[in-house]
């Protein structure tokens, strides 16, 4: 489920959505710029708070622009996703079982890509 009964996203979902907008934006964006693109019409103050939180976490940078701030992603999408996957894996006792299940649930083309990456010893 993507939202609760009051229309709120689960914790972290808005941060992910804002990061996705920043990745697509290709340059510094104001909270109003991001708000205009986000689905579900979140309040401006909610977007502004979320962007400030991302900056505090080191996931976004911010710079003064007039009386406000503009933000850019400080991490790329692949790096951010890989770090999240690693963090989740580190919190599990039976990492081999988690990895085995993960691989078994991959689409065939993703499994082939993973095997190729493992053979080559890295990313593209």
Q: What is the pLDDT of residues 4-36, one digit of tens each?
A: 455 566 657 999 999 999 999 989 999 999 999
pTM (2 decimals)? 0.76
pLDDT for 55-108, tens place per residue?
999 999 999 999 999 999 999 999 999 998 999 999 999 999 999 999 999 999
When pLDDT is averaged across residues 38-42 and rounded to a whole number, the result is: 91
Nearest C-alpha neighbor of 56 from the set 44, 43, 69, 41 = 69
pLDDT for 68-81, tens place per residue?
999 999 999 999 99
């Amino acid at each position: 489920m993507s939202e609760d009964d009051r229309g709120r996203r689960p914790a972290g979902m808005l941060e992910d959505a804002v990061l996705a907008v920043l990745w697509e934006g290709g340059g510094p964006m104001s909270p109003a710029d991001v708000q205009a693109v986000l689905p579900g019409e979140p309040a401006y103050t909610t977007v502004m708070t979320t962007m400030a939180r991302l900056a505090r976490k080191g996931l976004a940078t911010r710079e003064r622009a007039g009386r406000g701030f503009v933000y850019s992603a400080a991490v790329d999408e692949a790096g951010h996703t890989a770090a999240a996957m690693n963090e989740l894996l580190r919190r599990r006792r039976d990492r081999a079982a988690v990895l085995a299940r993960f691989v078994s649930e991959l689409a065939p083309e993703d499994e082939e890509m993973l095997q190729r990456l493992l053979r080559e010893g890295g990313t593209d």
